[in-house]
Structure 1
Amino acid sequence: MKKLLFIVLAAITSVANSQNAIAKSATDIAPLLIGEKIPSLTLKSSENTAVNISDLLKKKKTVLVFYRGGWCPYCNAHLQALAEAEKEILDLGYQIIGISPDAPENLKITGEKDKVNYTLLSDSKGELIKALGIAFEAPENYKSVINVHSNGVNTSLLPVPSVFVVNPESEILFEYISPDFKHRITNELLVSVLKTFK
């Protein structure tokens, strides 16, 4: 019996630790799965105020978008595309929240440049992306740009570009995770997914 209990505890500990471990590459991540909950953590708004992610998620169903930063042209194209579909997404009863390692003041720059009206949040410390299992060790050639855009808070972590559809109880209903940062979910596919949860 003790041996069985030890095996069960070891398995639980291993799963918990793997969620917070930093993957060596984008293809090595171990993300949370559909049905699991987004952890309750505090991030920063573009005004540099503390925002609890769970409090935001409680308001309504959410499209939660993780992007690498305002310096990434593929991320900017994705944020702009979401801005174009925002009215349709809002009409379906959802809110959009974008999260990156960028510092709060850089979120403002991205929002203005990409004509984004939805909420952008800073996860400079990488706590949420680590908890979600989508953080990985950035290649050397990205570390200086991450450092600059996070104002020195983050020197080595990137999120794998991801979209989570989450209910007000913080449960993941759908996820689209792309280790190849050049590929993002299309608005058409996202909207059709959102309609299934309406």
Structure 2
Amino acid sequence: MKQLLFVLLLLGNSAIAQIPELPEQVSPLLIGEQVPDAELKSANNTTHKLSDVLAEKPGVLLFYRGGWCPYCNAHLSDIQEVESEIISLGYQIIAVSPDAPENLKITEEDKSIRYKLYSDADGELIKAMGIAFKAPGQYSGLLNEKSGGLNKGILPVPSVFVVSPSGKILFEYINPDYSTRLSGKLLLAILKNL
């Protein structure tokens, strides 16, 4: 029993240790790799497999820190402004954050977001994408609250991935500086050239 407990503690600590301390230290998946499948919750608290969502049509997979982040809200609004053009190019927009479903609903309503917002409150997809890092201490209470108690202190580096219906990464933009985002107009130019 003591050996099992030791092994579990060791495994738990190694999983935590694998998450970088700083956003500059993340190791994201690369262009050409497959996004991992994950279960995400919608703003209506329904469960969706990422593979099923992506199977509908190519996706702009946008990771943001949460509806509490002013830079994220500005980015979500910027993407909203070009949503109809993105859709006319044959893509869908899938935005993922550590926010719990009820907080997604607040963001949707507050920002009049029409595209899909999904919760990765426990951070499993964020970690699997290689964009998770340990949140600075001042965020731990906020993340715990906004995730419904599921986020134990990780944040995603804000990122944009363009993904095929089969889950293959076609393009990515990842910037450890959370105040700098890929503009909607630049995203449109990229999508037109893929």
Give the TM-score taking structure 2 as reference length.
Answer: 0.90
User: Does residue 127 in structure 1 map to residue 124 in structure 2?
Assistant: yes
Partner of 2:102: 105
| Equivalent position amino acid for 2:102 in 1 | E
| Aligned partner (choices 48, 61, 66) of residue 63 of structure 2 | 66
Partner of 1:137: 134
What SS does the corresponding residue of 1:58 show, helix, strand or coil?
helix
User: Does residue 38 in structure 1 map to residue 35 in structure 2?
Assistant: yes
Q: Does structure 2 retain, via aligned residues, the 8 Å contact 1:22–1:135?
A: yes
Runs of 4+ in structure 1 displaced over 4 angstroms? Answer: none
TM-superposed deviation, 1:119: 0.4
Question: 1:71-125: CA deviations, max 9, x gaps?
Answer: 0000000001111110010011100000000000000000111110000000001
Question: 1:123-146: CA deviations, max 9, x gaps?
Answer: 001000100000000000111111
What SS does the corresponding residue of 2:82 show, helix, strand or coil?
helix
TM-superposed deviation, 1:69: 0.1
| Aligned partner (choices 51, 54, 68) of residue 48 of structure 2 | 51
Task: Give structure 1 stretches of 5+ with no counterpart.
Answer: 1-16
TM-superposed deviation, 1:152: 1.0
| Aligned partner (choices 86, 90, 95) of residue 89 of structure 1 | 86
Partner of 1:25: 22
User: Does residue 165 in structure 1 map to residue 152 in structure 2?
Assistant: no
Question: 1:15-58: CA deviations, max 9, x gaps?
Answer: xx99x931111000000000000111111111111110000001
Percent identity reads: 55
Aligned equivalents of 2:162 and 2:18: distance in 1?
Answer: 23
Give the superposed CA RMSD: 1.4
